[in-house]
Amino acid sequence: MLKPFRRRHDNHRIPQNLIPASVGGGYTGAHEVREQVAGDTIDQWLVWSSLSLLFIGLIMVYSATVALPDSSKYASYSQTHFLYRHAFSMAMGGVVALALFQVPVKMWQQTAPILFTVGIAMLALVLVPGIGREVNGARRWLPLVLINVQPSEFMKVFAVLYAADYAVRKQAFMQRFGKIILPMLVAMFLVGTLLLLEPDMGAFIVIVAIVFGILFLGGINAKVFFSLSGGLCMAFAAMILFSDYRRARFLAYLDPWSGDNALNKAYQLSHSLIAFGRGELFGVGLGGSLEKLHYLPEAHTDFLLAVIGEELGFVGVAVVILLFVVLVQRCFLIGQQAMVLERIFAGLVAKGVGVWIAVQSFVNMGVNVGLLPTKGLTLPLMSYGGSGILANCIALALVLRVGYENRVLMRGGGV
């Protein structure tokens, strides 16, 4: 957790003894650093780990959906329907990311409250009859010409920006509960109410983790933070306890192999575990999954990791986990580098994206292997879903921009 910081002017000079020698740690003089960073303007490890996850996801989404047209639900679809749509989402995400990479970080800080307000308006718009689209009992989408937009995915980006800006603006009050926590609790209550009305508890959990993770990294009082975390855990427990549907899913998670649970609330979990069991060490081979043949519902979204585990085995899952570890580590290293340069908002944005990717991927993986109760969260950068892919690409563009500006500053330039 950071000590309280003070703002500096944008044109401040970097202290000669506080410039990172490398993203791996240690400090050195300005001349050495400029030589080290002169060759690259963007973080190559972040780029290649992200691209690897995107393209592995494309392959596995195709593998998981190639047999779907055999069912009555998808009989009108071609075998490549989901492949082409997922590839289109990736291409669109790449174009948007390249465009937004050109936007200076200080402009994101200026517009953060506006974007957060726009996100709340979109969440409310989804609930308006005749506007929001309902699928399987959930109203989460706004239908547009080419894609159905899921506002909760973009709200994650807006939450990162807003929480980082909020932490900077409220830095003088970080030790006072009423000044720092109560206003954010009101905002989270509004966002949470809208998300639970959809319902989308998974997105709400991720957004809460993002916001309070950034506040913690921004210097909030530790006692206040952990007290608040305990209160949030009790609130989520109450939501499970007083909701028949959520309580049934939680009880099914505790005993997924009982006859009734395996055929009802724990159906996806039980078949996901079967998929991992079949995969063993090296998997049954790409395309060889049996669980994707209409046994494991929606395997291309929430349970894509189960298909990876069945077809590529423990080794394939380990590679995916390693790539996520590299991606999250780079987000935090870029964020810490920005902090050292006293670019606090930029540093909190990069770390906030790291918190987002880490929490969402952990929850998705935990659900797939039975470590956590079943919850509808996709695997970032990999699962099928245009809004999710686009939001992930935007978030990574922000982190790359932070890293780029760090390097420019270390070479003696201005941003």
Sequence spans of domains, the chain? 27-410
Question: What pLDDT digit, counting tens, does each position of 148-206 carry?
Answer: 889 999 999 999 999 999 999 887 666 666 666 778 888 888 998 999 888 888 899 99
* The pLDDT of residue 9 is above 60: no
Write down the pLDDT at residue 336: 96
- State the pLDDT confidence band at 328, using cuts at 50, 70 and 90: very high
Write down the pLDDT at residue 240: 75
* The pLDDT of residue 412 is above 50: yes
Helix or strand run (H / E) with residue 229: helix 222-241
Closest CA to 355 of 162, 179, 217: 217
* Percent over 90 (pLDDT), the chain: 57
| Spatial separation of the C-alpha atoms in residues 341 and 12, rounded to whole Å | 9
Evaluate the CA torsion angle 256, 260, 266, 268 in order and state its sign: positive
Give Cα 87 to chain centroid, integer Å.
Answer: 19
Q: Are 15 and 292 in contact (CB under 8 A)?
A: no
Please return the burial class of 28, using the count of CB atoms within 10 Å of its CB with bins 0-12, 13-18 and 19+.
Answer: middle
Question: What pLDDT digit, counting tens, does each position of 102-153 carry?
Answer: 999 999 999 999 999 999 999 999 998 888 887 766 788 888 777 788 999 9
Residues β-bridged to residue 134: 139
Mean pLDDT, residues 2-24 taken together: 42
Write down the pLDDT at residue 1: 45
Q: List all residues 6 or more positions away from 85 whose beta carbon is below 8 Å from its beta carbon.
A: 384, 386
Least confident of 27-36, 119-128, 333-342: 27-36
Give Cα 377 to chain centroid, integer Å.
Answer: 10
Q: Would residue 20 be called left, alpha or beta, if left means φ above 0 and alpha means ψ between -120 and 50 degrees?
A: beta
Q: What is the CA radius of gyration of the chain?
A: 22
Least confident of 73-77, 112-116, 181-185, 399-403: 181-185
| Spatial separation of the C-alpha atoms in residues 273 and 257, rounded to whole Å | 10
Write down the pLDDT at residue 27: 39
Residue type, 163: A
* The pLDDT of residue 344 is above 90: yes
Helix or strand run (H / E) with residue 112: helix 105-126
Q: List all residues 6 or more positions away from 159 whose beta carbon is below 8 Å from its beta carbon.
A: 116, 119, 191, 207, 210, 211, 352
Write down the pLDDT at residue 56: 97
What does the block give as tokens for 46? 């972040």
Question: What pLDDT digit, counting tens, does each position of 202-220 carry?
Answer: 899 999 999 989 988 888 7
Collapsing DSSP states into helix, strand and coil, what is residue 364? helix
What does the block give as tokens for 318? 């380990």
**In the block, which residue shows the tokens 């590299």?**
326
Residue type, 357: I
Give Cα 76 to chain centroid, integer Å.
Answer: 32
* The pLDDT of residue 63 is above 70: yes
**In the block, which residue shows the tokens 């395997």?**
299
CB atoms within 10 A of CB 149: 20
Q: What is the DSSP letter of 11?
A: T
Residue type, 332: F
Q: Are 162 and 109 in contact (CB under 8 A)?
A: no
The torsion angles phi and psi of 19, rounded to 5 degrees, stand at -90, 125
Q: What torsion, rounded to 10 degrees, do the Cα atoms 402, 407, 413, 415 define?
A: 0
Residues β-bridged to residue 138: 135
Strands (DSSP E) contained in 264-395 are: none
Question: What pLDDT digit, counting tens, does each position of 308-324 carry?
Answer: 999 999 999 999 999 99
Mean pLDDT, residues 330-351 taken together: 96
Higher pLDDT, 180 or 391: 391
Q: Are 192 and 363 in contact (CB under 8 A)?
A: no
What does the block give as tokens for 51? 């691209």
Terminal-to-terminal C-alpha distance of the chain: 27
Write down the pLDDT at residue 37: 42
Average pLDDT of the chain to the nearest whole number: 85
Higher pLDDT, 413 or 337: 337
Strands (DSSP E) contained in 301-412 are: none
| Spatial separation of the C-alpha atoms in residues 160 and 351, rounded to whole Å | 9
| Spatial separation of the C-alpha atoms in residues 212 and 92, rounded to whole Å | 31
What is the model's pTM? 0.87
* Percent over 70 (pLDDT), the chain: 87
Mean pLDDT, residues 46-71 taken together: 95
- State the pLDDT confidence band at 376, using cuts at 50, 70 and 90: confident
Q: Are 105 and 401 in contact (CB under 8 A)?
A: yes
| Spatial separation of the C-alpha atoms in residues 415 and 412, rounded to whole Å | 10
- State the pLDDT confidence band at 5, using cuts at 50, 70 and 90: very low
Write down the pLDDT at residue 258: 81
